[in-house]
Amino acid sequence: MVRSKQMPTIKLPKSLLTTIQTAFKLEAKRLCRDIATILQKPEKELTEKVLQSQITLEILEDNDETHSCPILIQHSVILERCRRPCLLGTGLCIHHQSTTIIPEVPSSLKTLTRIECSEEHTMPLWCDESTGYVYGTDGTQVGWYKNERLMLIDFEEEETN
């Protein structure tokens, strides 16, 4: 009685398929050439035998895959997405692999846009695009965004004598 061995199935994003297949075939042909020389066998025959035994690849459509981690992290009063790179095929970064439920953003919260700051101003800022108000990490208003200009409130402490 002959039992057929079932080859393992590997899940692979579609965007990597062509590159990996080409690399595998080139490496297999190189190995077959070396082995054929050592065994003094015809290279073509050996290559055909090797290339016919292939692993089944399950192709995942990666257009729908998230590439940045969607888990919400709370910084003071601001909820922010993790956005670290996801491990292929998981939809989560390495730090959130044990998370089973991805929480939805509560509808009662304001949606703010992160402002990309200059090198001299490193404090994270968020803008409410509907009002133009700019908030800091603690949720307090620190300025305005109007007419494509960012105006920040500068709180200088007075010296007491």
Concatenated DSSP letters of 62-73: TTSS-SB---EE
Structure confidence at residue 30 (pLDDT): 92
The answer to whether the Cα torsion of 25, 27, 29, 32 is positive or negative is negative
Concatenated DSSP letters of 60-127: E-TTSS-SB---EEEETTEEEE--PBPPTTTSS-GGGTT----PPPPTTSPP-EEEPPPSS--S-EEE
DSSP state of 44: H
pLDDT category of residue 103 using cuts at 50, 70 and 90 = confident
Portion of the chain with pLDDT greater than 90, in percent: 9
Length of the chain: 161
Instruction: Tell me the whole-structure pTM to 2 decimals.
Output: 0.46
pLDDT category of residue 58 using cuts at 50, 70 and 90 = low
Dist CA 67 CA 93 (whole Å): 9
Portion of the chain with pLDDT greater than 70, in percent: 78
| Side chain identity at residue 25, one-letter code | K
